[in-house]
């Protein structure tokens, strides 16, 4: 590979990872449930693009495999599976009351992303001197922003997307530092993501049927304290 | 004998349980499969304890994926044991509420998949694959936790799934970093043994980051404070046999994965894995001991006691002495047999009185003598009253701590254990022996009728008797093969 092509591939990878970070911010703040899903699909496509570019850069057939697995499982099978198992209600929800308001959440997200950079760069150096791109710091940021999504959201769809986004973040970092992970493991992890979608979808359907809401974060009757209060809370 | 064989009975039973038919063979399939697994696991543990190997007949290519040593054999044996008792208990317990055949099939299919995923944890040697089966334990048990479909059960299942998977996300990144560290050290195969071998050459920064990510990530699923918030919910809302599995053995089989990292960490300068374990362990024991005092649901009581016990095990490992490691292994065994017994007793109580509120149950020993006696025995056993199993293992840990000269840590541990003892016994004592307050006089004529309704199913009574045997025996006597196995398991915790 000539120097110019390598430079181009590395720049394109930087673009893909940069956009990846942007989608991670979007998932934290997006109010519409359907929008969250679309952002996640975009994020998965960018992950696949980054894997393919790194595959080109290192001439690694294995990374092409990772790109292909991500291309098929997340943008195609996840939405299909959700339509099959989860209630339609899930898509139409719009979340008004997050635990924190959106500007505060985004400020925290920004702090996390900066922290991820300071954690990621020394780690990349410890792995070795070869090219890692921005994958490691941005992957860590993706992981942390996914976790933030899980803590501040209450609707089922953003919570599910937060889980999957965490996995995406771990993967974005993984394709740069753990390139030779066996294909069996990669396939198993992808399958695992689909099982998560299936089980969470079934749970949401049960919650919607028996409790009548998809704002699962608002379920909060289980706690310590005087017994009577708990039963009163349940009554209505 | 092929080691992998042990994974098949649960899969077959899950498939059988899933077949729609009017006559339900699901409970029978589950019991038979669990008993086969128990036989295979005992044989494996026996051979390992005698100094043999169970993987020598495998094709060499498998050694990158499957490995069984003393520690794995111990965990396998306990999963099989609790899996079997809980399976037999399920037969009567689940029939009691008269769920439809479909619901029963769902329960048993999930039950077998859950057993399958747990059995795979100690067998698999490749860390990322272990991570995947850890995820599977969460996903297979989620629908068991929400089985009753009440508002509370659904809330518990939801919290369980979200928090466990969130932790798992961090752990996944940890395992990828660990892979990178091993790769940087020129390690050839990514297995537990390969990691220990490559550990001295691995970049310390990466290993430490990976360890913390995995400790926090999987610690969430173990129920370490402050990541424990989901545990009392899930471990109290699930049907009682599932609680026995979740609390008795699932937590320890996840803890096993964390313990696997200790020999790796010991080779890394300035890693301080033991210190982390000691601090997190003591925080867990202490917090759980005080939270125990204010619960109002007796199944939550036992759930908090699980948080306490996980803390004790981690503290023991954190003490970092061979004797303490042995104590930790002994505690894993006594916790598994005792905690499952406690939840069987709690299940029997629930069948007899129909409520989980501590305040609503008084004078249980008169209304349902079997459940009352089992509950008080379970309470005494789990809090470490002599001469029961937990007493012996906690005593071993405290003694090892004192011999080490770790007076502060050991003293704190002892104080927390005593507080937990009172926390549990105050509640249980009132439930079992307390005078019926207002309901006693009002409901006196209806008393016998309720007792008849709450008659204990045969399989539940049988298991209450059988499960009490190890609780009583292991308090006074540890058989030679088990002792050998514990020594081997403890040896796996250090280089």
Model confidence pLDDT, tens digit, residues B99-110: 788 889 999 999
Answer whether B201's CB lies under 8 Å from B152's CB.
no
So what's the pLDDT on residue B219? 96
So what's the pLDDT on residue A74? 92
What is the count of structural domains for chain A?
1
B291–A210 CB contact, under 8 Å:
no
Mean pLDDT of B36-48: 95
Give tens-digit pLDDT for B103-129.
899 999 999 999 999 999 999 999 999
- Please indicate, yes or no, if residue A228 is contained in any of the structural domains: no
A210–B143 CB contact, under 8 Å:
no
So what's the pLDDT on residue B441? 45
Q: How far is A117 from chain B (nearest CA, A)?
A: 14
The two three-digit tokens of residue B346, written as one number: 């709690």
What is the count of structural domains for chain B?
1
**Residue A65 lies in domain:** 3-219
pLDDT band at A128 (very low <50, low <70, confident <90, very high): confident
B183–A178 CB contact, under 8 Å:
yes
So what's the pLDDT on residue B444? 43
Task: Check whether B452 has a pLDDT greater than 70.
Answer: no
pLDDT band at B383 (very low <50, low <70, confident <90, very high): very high
- Please indicate, yes or no, if residue A144 is contained in any of the structural domains: yes
Nearest-5° Cα angle at A142, A85 to B140: 35
Q: How far is B204 from chain A (nearest CA, A)?
A: 9
- Please indicate, yes or no, if residue A77 is contained in any of the structural domains: yes
Contacts of B295 in chain A (CB under 8 A): 224
What CA–CA distances, in Å, run from B481 to A231, B71, B84, B249, B487?
50, 14, 21, 21, 10
- Please indicate, yes or no, if residue A235 is contained in any of the structural domains: no
So what's the pLDDT on residue B495? 81
B173–A206 CB contact, under 8 Å:
no
Comparing A37-41, A151-155, A195-199, B332-336, which segment has the lowest mean pLDDT?
A151-155
Comparing B242-246, B269-273, B418-422, B485-489, which segment has the lowest mean pLDDT?
B269-273
Instruction: Report cis status (omega within 30 of 0) of the bond before B464.
Output: no
Q: How far is A125 from chain B (nearest CA, A)?
A: 10
B209–A202 CB contact, under 8 Å:
no
Give tens-digit pLDDT for B14-28.
999 888 876 678 899
Rounded to two decimals, the pTM is 0.94
Which strand (E) or helix (H) includes residue B102? helix B101-123
Helices (H), B148-294: 151-184, 192-198, 204-222, 231-237, 240-245, 251-259, 262-266, 273-292
Q: What is the distance between the alpha carbons of residues B438 and A186, in angstroms, rounded to a whole number?
A: 62
Specify burial of residue A68 (Cβ count, 10 A radius: 0-12, 13-18, 19+): middle
B139–A196 CB contact, under 8 Å:
yes
Q: ipTM of this model?
A: 0.93
Mean pLDDT of B434-453: 52
So what's the pLDDT on residue B1? 56
Mean pLDDT of B214-220: 96
Contacts of A140 in chain B (CB under 8 A): 173
Task: Check whether B240 has a pLDDT greater than 90.
Answer: yes
Mean pLDDT of chain A: 88
- Please indicate, yes or no, if residue A45 is contained in any of the structural domains: yes
Comparing A185-194, B48-57, B409-418, B470-479, which segment has the lowest mean pLDDT?
B48-57
Q: Nearest Cβ partner of A221 from B129, B151, B165?
A: B151
So what's the pLDDT on residue B438? 56
Q: Which residues contact B58 (CB under 8 A, 6 or more apart)?
A: B2, B3, B4, B66
So what's the pLDDT on residue B449? 41
B157–A203 CB contact, under 8 Å:
yes
- Please indicate, yes or no, if residue A68 is contained in any of the structural domains: yes
Q: What is the distance between the alpha carbons of residues B348 and B31, in angstroms, rounded to a whole number?
A: 19
Q: What is the distance between the alpha carbons of residues B167 and B148, in angstroms, rounded to a whole number?
A: 26
So what's the pLDDT on residue A225? 57
So what's the pLDDT on residue B23? 66
Provide the chain A residues 90-129 that lie in CB contact (below 8 A) with chain B. Answer: 119, 122-123, 126-128
**Residue B112 lies in domain:** 3-491
What CA–CA distances, in Å, run from B7 to B13, B132, B154, B278?
11, 15, 30, 34
Mean pLDDT of B447-464: 71
- Please indicate, yes or no, if residue A73 is contained in any of the structural domains: yes
The two three-digit tokens of residue B490, written as one number: 């403890």
Q: What is the distance between the alpha carbons of residues B448 and A199, in angstroms, rounded to a whole number?
A: 43
Mean pLDDT of chain B: 91
Comparing A87-96, B64-73, B85-94, B285-294, which segment has the lowest mean pLDDT?
A87-96
SS3 letters across chain A: CCHHHHHHHHHHHHHHHHHHHHHHHHHHHCCEHHHHHHHHHHHHHHHHHHHHHHHHHHCCHHHHHHHHHHHHHHHHHHHHHHHHHCCCHHHHCECCCCCCCHHHHHHHHHHHHHHHHHHHHHHHHHHCCCCCCCHHHHHHHHHHHHHHHHHHCCCHHHHHHHHHHHHHHHHHHHHHHCCCCCHHHHHHHHHHHHHHHHHHHHHHHHHHHHCCCCCHHHCCCCCCCCHHHHHHHHCC
pLDDT band at B440 (very low <50, low <70, confident <90, very high): very low
pLDDT band at B454 (very low <50, low <70, confident <90, very high): low
- Please indicate, yes or no, if residue A203 is contained in any of the structural domains: yes
Comparing A68-72, A201-205, A218-222, which segment has the lowest mean pLDDT?
A218-222
């Amino acid at each position: 590979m000539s120097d110019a092509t390598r430079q181009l591939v590395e720049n394109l990878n930087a673009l893909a990872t940069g956009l990846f970070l942007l989608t991670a911010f979007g998932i934290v703040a997006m109010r519409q449930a359907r929008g969250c899903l679309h952002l996640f699909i975009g994020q998965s496509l960018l992950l696949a693009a980054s894997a393919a570019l790194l595959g080109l850069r290192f001439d690694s057939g294995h990374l092409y495999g990772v790109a292909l697995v991500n291309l098929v499982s997340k943008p195609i099978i996840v939405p299909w599976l959700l339509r099959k198992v989860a209630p339609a209600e899930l898509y139409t929800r719009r979340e008004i009351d997050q635990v924190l308001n959106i500007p505060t959440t985004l400020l925290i997200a920004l702090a996390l992303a900066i922290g991820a950079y300071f954690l990621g760069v020394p780690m990349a150096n410890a792995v070795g001197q070869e090219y890692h791109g921005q994958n490691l710091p941005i992957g860590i940021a993706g992981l942390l922003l996914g976790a933030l999504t899980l803590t501040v959201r209450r609707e089922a769809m953003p919570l599910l997307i937060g889980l999957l986004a965490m996995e995406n973040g771990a993967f974005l970092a993984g394709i740069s530092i753990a390139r030779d992970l066996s294909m069996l493991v990669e396939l198993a992890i992808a399958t695992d993501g689909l099982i998560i979608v299936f089980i969470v979808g079934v749970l949401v359907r049960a919650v919607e049927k028996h409790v009548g809401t998809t704002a699962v974060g608002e379920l909060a009757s289980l706690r310590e304290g005087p017994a009577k209060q708990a039963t009163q809370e349940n009554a209505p | 004998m092929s080691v992998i064989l042990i994974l098949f009975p649960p899969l077959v039973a899950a498939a059988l349980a899933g077949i729609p038919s009017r006559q339900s063979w699901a409970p029978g399939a589950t019991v038979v499969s669990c008993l086969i697994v128990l036989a295979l696991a005992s044989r494996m543990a026996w051979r390992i304890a005698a100094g043999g190997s169970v993987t020598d007949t495998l094709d060499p290519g498998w050694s990158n994926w499957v490995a069984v040593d003393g520690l794995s054999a111990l965990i396998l044996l306990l999963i099989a044991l609790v899996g079997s008792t809980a399976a037999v208990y399920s037969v009567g317990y689940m029939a009691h509420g008269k769920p439809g055949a479909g619901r029963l099939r769902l329960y048993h299919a999930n039950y077998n998949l859950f057993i399958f995923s747990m059995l795979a944890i100690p067998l698999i040697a490749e860390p990322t694959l272990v991570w995947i089966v850890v995820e599977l334990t969460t996903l297979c048990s989620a629908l068991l936790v929400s089985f009753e479909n009440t508002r509370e059960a659904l809330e518990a299942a939801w919290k369980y799934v979200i928090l466990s998977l969130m932790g798992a996300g961090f752990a996944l990144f940890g395992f990828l970093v660990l892979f990178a560290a091993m790769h940087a050290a020129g390690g050839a195969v990514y297995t537990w043994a390969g990691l220990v071998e490559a550990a001295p050459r691995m970049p310390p920064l990466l290993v430490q980051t990976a360890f913390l990510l995995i400790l926090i990530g999987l610690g969430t699923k173990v129920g370490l404070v402050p990541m424990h918030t989901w545990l009392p919910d899930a471990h109290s809302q699930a049907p009682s046999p599932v609680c026995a599995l979740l609390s008795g053995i699932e937590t320890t089989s996840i803890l096993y994965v964390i313990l696997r990292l200790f020999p790796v960490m010991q080779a890394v300068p300035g890693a301080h894995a033991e210190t982390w374990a000691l601090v997190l362990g003591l925080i867990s024991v202490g917090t759980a001991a005080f939270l125990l005092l204010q619960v109002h649901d007796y199944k939550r009581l036992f759930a908090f006691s699980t948080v306490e016990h996980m803390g004790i095990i981690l503290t023991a490992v954190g003490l970092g002495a061979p004797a303490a490691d042995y104590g930790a292994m002994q505690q894993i065994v006594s916790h598994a047999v005792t905690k499952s017994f406690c939840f069987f007793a709690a299940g029997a109580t629930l069948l007899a009185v129909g409520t989980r509120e501590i305040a609503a149950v008084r004078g249980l020993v008169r209304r349902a003598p079997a459940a009352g006696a089992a509950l008080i025995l379970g309470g005494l056993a789990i809090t470490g009253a002599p001469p029961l199993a937990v007493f012996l293992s906690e005593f071993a840990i405290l003694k090892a701590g004192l011999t080490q000269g770790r007076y502060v840590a050991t003293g704190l541990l002892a104080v927390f254990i005593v507080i937990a003892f009172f926390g549990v016994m105050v509640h249980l004592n009132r439930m079992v022996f307390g005078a019926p307050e207002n309901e006693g006089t009002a409901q006196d004529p209806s008393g016998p009728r309720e007792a008849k309704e709450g008659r204990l199913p045969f399989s539940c009574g049988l298991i209450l008797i059988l499960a009490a045997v190890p609780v009583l025996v292991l308090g006074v006597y540890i058989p030679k093969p088990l002792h050998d196995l514990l020594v081997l398991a403890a040896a796996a915790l250090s280089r």
